[in-house]
Structure 1
Amino acid sequence: MFLASVSMAPMAWADVLYQVNITDPEHHLAQVSVSFPMTNERQLQVNLPVWRTGKYTVLPLADGIRNFVAKDEHGQPLTWQRTASGEWQVALEQPSQVTVTYQLYANELGQRVRDISNTHAYLDASGVMMYSPSFRDQPVQVALTVPENWKSYSGMAAGIKPHTFVADNYDVLIDSPIETGISQYRNFSADGKAFELVVWGEGNFDIEQMVKDLQKVTVKSQDIWQGYPFERYLFIVHATSGARGATEHINSTVIQLPRFSFRERKDYLRFISTASHEFIHTWNVKAYRPEGLVPYDFQQENMSDLLWMAEGSTSYFQNQLLLRAGVMSAKEFLEDIAKRIERNQHTPGREQQSVAETSLGEWVATSGDYASNHSINIYSEGYLVSMALDYQLLRDSKLKASYRDVHKLLYRDYAIPKGYNAQTIKTLLQQLTKRDYSDWWSKNVESPVSYDFNEMLEHAGLALSYGKDAKTKAFIGASVSGTSLKFTSVERNGPAWTAGIAAGDELVAINGLKVTADGFEKRIEDFKVGDKVSVTLFKDDTLQTYVVTLAETPAGKLAIKPLDKAARSQKALFEAWLGIDWPFDSDGNFKKAD
């Protein structure tokens, strides 16, 4: 009987206890201890993840760990060895509870894994709290020791004492970051659910406006899904001195923006659109996700060819929620699509990489000149593929089904612990339309694709336009850093590329005249389409001159306009697509409401 009870020890229902002591916030330090229940294993494996959810990149998280110590239930030291970048093996001679302690350095706010300062701490378990695979499914308790005037918040349930939280297991813990410190707090309800907003940092934001708009947007999620995967949801906002970005979690999100980037309309739209994006992730990724990510493997890459659906489709829906909620106007919504289309037209990588391939390559994806010339990304191109699929669904179903229905069914029928794959999606598409989407999938998902956006938009009574009096200007197909005068991007097969100029070359002069730090684009505007200009530069520290024949590009800003005579069927598709009335008057102008 004793042996039987010992053999069951790793499965016993006992909590894993975490204690995080903010010991030296000025220097970004904390002391962390993790107490594991009784185990009879001869080697207890302890891990710190090598990536965090929402960012599909291996990160050096374990570099923030120092002074690792393991002890048994009597406080006696245990021998251990480090067997991987995020793995420690603790040796046990007899069954025992095990406690590990370590110093944590937390100064990585922009990565959204850990940050400790004299006014707050942001703690994402992936960069803070070790786990053992043997106890990953066990309930956890977290206790914080923080400065006296701090308050602590998390999507996790609060414990009995202040600054404590509890979760069903490590997977909930790792997806429920903690924000503790000096902050502003608001709460509100929407559609019977409890919501909280915590803002750390000072800036030009209007917290009351945030609450008002978040309350409007959150309920519009039900235009896509039925039901909520949470009872309480926490928005964490960091008004920072430079860090920007956002990360979704199962019951919360964190959004980071520079502190003075909230007041202007375009800046506020960036914030509220990001909040919408991360909130949508509560369903798309957190409630259901591709089978390559179910369950998460925290110690290695989780491969999937459907990350474009996880991220790009979320981007596709984010502004639709704002539009339906009345937080974004139809004019602003269509302006955003026009920008995305224009960016796509200047991304030569669309001719080389499919969204399926870029999904598989996300773990090693880079940015910059090479990326835009030879790659696409899961966000922007995933958005456009989602839009193309939405249009196809609307047409094939005679407006009875849309891309929203695909995600509604994924939430209903493929929620975690299930996962979905490409065949799942094609099956759902066939169920909704009675058509086989294999060819469509091959051409649009598994192959590089360049869309005829005018042909696509025409179905909704829309067209791309540079204005009635559209003009052109000279185009060199390159951009230059304003400080170093180095070429930062050279568009593949553009004029500069064809002449032999490459990213990293250092610009000196055009037609023998020095170019100033802010004068490159203005200087190109001095020439006409077809002019040949001499570009002098340093390439590998050697002074060289290249002759570039300038091409033609539209001088204005791309916009989406209504067709002169949009048919009733085209307006009907528009309304089924976006869930709003046709927003244009008889003269093709936006109605006053917009």
Structure 2
Amino acid sequence: MKPIKLTATVSLILLFMNLSAAQAQPSANISYNVSFPEAQAHYAEIEMHITGLKQNTLDLKMPVWTPGSYLVREFAKNIEAFSANINGQIVASPKINKNTWRVNTKGKAAVTIKYRVYANENSVRTSYLDVSHAFLSTSGIFIYPANMLHSPSTITIVPYKDWSKVSTSLEMVNNNPFVRHSPNFDILFDSPIEVGNQDIFGFDVNGVKYEVCMYGGGNYDKERLKKDMHAIIEQEAAVFGENPNKHYTFIVHNHLRGGGGIEHLSSTVLGASRDNYASEKGYQGFLGLVAHEHFHLWNVKRLRPIVLGPFDYDNENYTTNLWIAEGFTEYYQEIAVRRTNLYPPENYLDQIANEFNILENLPGKNVQTVAESSFDAWIKGYRPNENSNNTTISYYTKGAIIGMMLDLEIINSSNQKYHLDDVMKYMYNTYYKTKKRGYTDAEFKKGFEMFAGKKLDDFYKKYINGLDPVDYNKYLGYAGYKINDELADNNDAALGITTGTTAAKKVIVTGVTRGTAGYIDGINVNDEITAIDGNPITDAANLIAGKKPGDKIQVTVSRDGQNITLPVTLLKSNRVKYKIVSLDSPTPQQLAVRKKWLSL
């Protein structure tokens, strides 16, 4: 979050508010006390004080989703013991819909609201607390007065027992770390709070103060992290020409097995595995996560699709542009680490080839466009089922690939004068800084075309709104590379299923890939495979060992308590495993594009 007194904060608030609407809204003084008397049972207790009321009725609302995670999570489900008190008397506060309570305040200027929040969902996007710490994902903690999203608030944290630290991007009040201020609710809901005894260290990057807060321990090397995170942050800021923050907070939750992250305006929450920092693969993965979520402070938190702010906290906020907001961020997380020279170019090429493999091995690439994937994030992206691979793609993965394609197109078409960075900086300056609003799909397309020096109608028709196969060799060829399929010469037979083994050694089908032998011949998800060709099965490994494409087998399954034998004709595996390799004799032009692309 921007410091309260800085003029830049004004533009930040303008971004998230419609001033004419805000001026029409009533003003009030709002404060919260947050305490944890039953931390062992995962409860936070909230006391909300509102003064300066002038309306007859006060509606109090809990957001149904959190920005950055496109799923209606119904945070009101965790609220209990809601009560309203006016002048020392409990007053009626009926719930009028799933996330709204109504209080009759006619003639009353002040009201006190109390409620409890059950916080036991351990993820980067939801609140969790126990006796060791509290993570407050603020959109699921703080109820707000309807039509007062513009109102400032003060949050006082009452720590549990020996908790001594608070980590958040919200500003302190009178240098008290347990008292924080938010200029409005958009910023409050974009500023998670960590309370406990987390390990905190920091560093400065060109005048911006960074704080890293580690909960859960781990084998991390603070000095190495400081140096490498500093390098990544510098590379990302260089894309946009500035860092709009004065301070930024990384909240890192280290678990036995952890992952994921969620972006915020001036902070991020990361999930990590506490013992993975010592391996190069694990460490590079963590740096990629840092690079991804930190890049979001520009891409999506400020440079954003037009519908993503001001937010509607009651309903889904639809956009077809998550392939830019998330997919390009995925692309830049990889290219930013490449630019630091922490790892050789081959590491980056392997990462982008892995994106190819993920996309190409999904039958859903022939069903769902990347624009549709963005729009349907609310109903499909965060709600995968056993058939999702057959019908959907990830806007992260295909968006990252499109980012690479457009970067190479722009570099090649402009004779190395421009690259994707120039588009991102132009769009940031034009829409966030100058117009103070989000962009439309058509406006971003014009930005690409400006620096590519050509119309991209055909590109959009094929790859954004269409299902054309990606021409990897065309775009990689600009830089003197091509793809090799390391599985091209294999003649392996495949059933086309994924399985899991229960404690009782039952082999259960968990997925069936469209177009494969198992799909065509009727193997179902949740079937228990009991025998193949009459031979009992107790291990999922090597179900079809020694078989070849065209062989016919008898697969016996238990389905709903009945044994069924299915004749299956094995097919050749259609999986690909691409690797990016250099052309034998790249031209000077190709080498120049390569140098620009990979910062060689």
The answer to whether the superposition gives a TM-score over 0.5 is yes
Structure 1 residue 372: deviation in Å?
0.8
Match of 2:137 in 1: 124
1:162 and 2:166 are equivalent in the alignment: no
Match of 1:578 in 2: 598
Measure the CA separation in 1 of the matches of 2:261 and 2:456.
Answer: 34
Measure the CA separation in 2 of the matches of 1:493 and 1:378.
Answer: 23
Structure 1 residue 9: deviation in Å?
11
Structure 1 residue 467: deviation in Å?
5.4
Distance change >3 Å, CA 58–CA 148, structure 1 → 2: same
Q: Which amino acid aligns with 1:438?
A: D
Match of 1:431 in 2: 450
8 Å contact kept, 2:499–2:540: no
Q: What does residue range 117-266 of structure 1 map to in structure 2 within 5 Å?
A: 117-146=130-159, 147-160=161-174, 161-266=176-281
Match of 1:42 in 2: 56
Counting matched residue pairs gives 569
Identify the match of residue 465 of structure 1 among 473, 481, 484.
484
Identify the match of residue 446 of structure 1 among 440, 465, 468.
465
Distance change >3 Å, CA 163–CA 79, structure 1 → 2: same
Deviations 1:540-570 (A, max 9, x none): 4332222333333489953221112122211
Deviations 1:71-91 (A, max 9, x none): 23x233232211222111111
Measure the CA separation in 2 of the matches of 1:561 and 1:70.
Answer: 66
Distance change >3 Å, CA 555–CA 22, structure 1 → 2: closer
Identify the match of residue 534 of structure 1 among 526, 532, 554.
554
Identify the match of residue 572 of structure 2 among 543, 549, 552.
552
8 Å contact kept, 2:483–2:579: yes
1:498 and 2:498 are equivalent in the alignment: no
Identify the match of residue 61 of structure 1 among 75, 85, 91.
75
1:515 and 2:537 are equivalent in the alignment: yes
Measure the CA separation in 1 of the matches of 2:545 and 2:578.
Answer: 19
Distance change >3 Å, CA 153–CA 101, structure 1 → 2: same
- Specify the SS of the correspondent of 1:360: helix
Q: Which amino acid aligns with 2:420?
A: Y
Structure 1 residue 495: deviation in Å?
2.0
Structure 1 residue 230: deviation in Å?
0.7
Structure 1 residue 244: deviation in Å?
3.0
1:411 and 2:428 are equivalent in the alignment: yes
Measure the CA separation in 2 of the matches of 1:337 and 1:515.
Answer: 38
Q: Which amino acid aligns with 2:555?
A: V
Deviations 1:117-174 (A, max 9, x none): 1111011210111111333212221110002342111111122223111121111111
Distance change >3 Å, CA 469–CA 435, structure 1 → 2: closer
8 Å contact kept, 1:185–1:198: yes
8 Å contact kept, 2:357–2:576: no
Deviations 1:378-433 (A, max 9, x none): 21122122222223222332332222222112211111740111111122123223
Mean CA deviation greater in 238-247 or 273-282: 238-247
Structure 1 residue 20: deviation in Å?
0.2
Distance change >3 Å, CA 281–CA 135, structure 1 → 2: same
Measure the CA separation in 2 of the matches of 1:368 and 1:266.
Answer: 29
Measure the CA separation in 2 of the matches of 1:75 and 1:555.
Answer: 69
Structure 1 residue 224: deviation in Å?
1.5
Q: Which amino acid aligns with 1:507?
A: I
8 Å contact kept, 1:470–1:554: no
Identity %: 29
Structure 1 runs not aligned, ≥5 long: 1-7, 582-594
Structure 1 residue 305: deviation in Å?
0.8
TM-score of the superposed pair, with normalisation by structure 1: 0.91
Measure the CA separation in 1 of the matches of 2:99 and 2:341.
Answer: 46
Deviations 1:8-49 (A, max 9, x none): 99644x542111011111111121011223121111111110
1:307 and 2:327 are equivalent in the alignment: no
Identify the match of residue 335 of structure 2 among 311, 320, 329.
320
Measure the CA separation in 2 of the matches of 1:468 and 1:261.
Answer: 30
Measure the CA separation in 2 of the matches of 1:238 and 1:120.
Answer: 11
Structure 1 residue 527: deviation in Å?
1.9
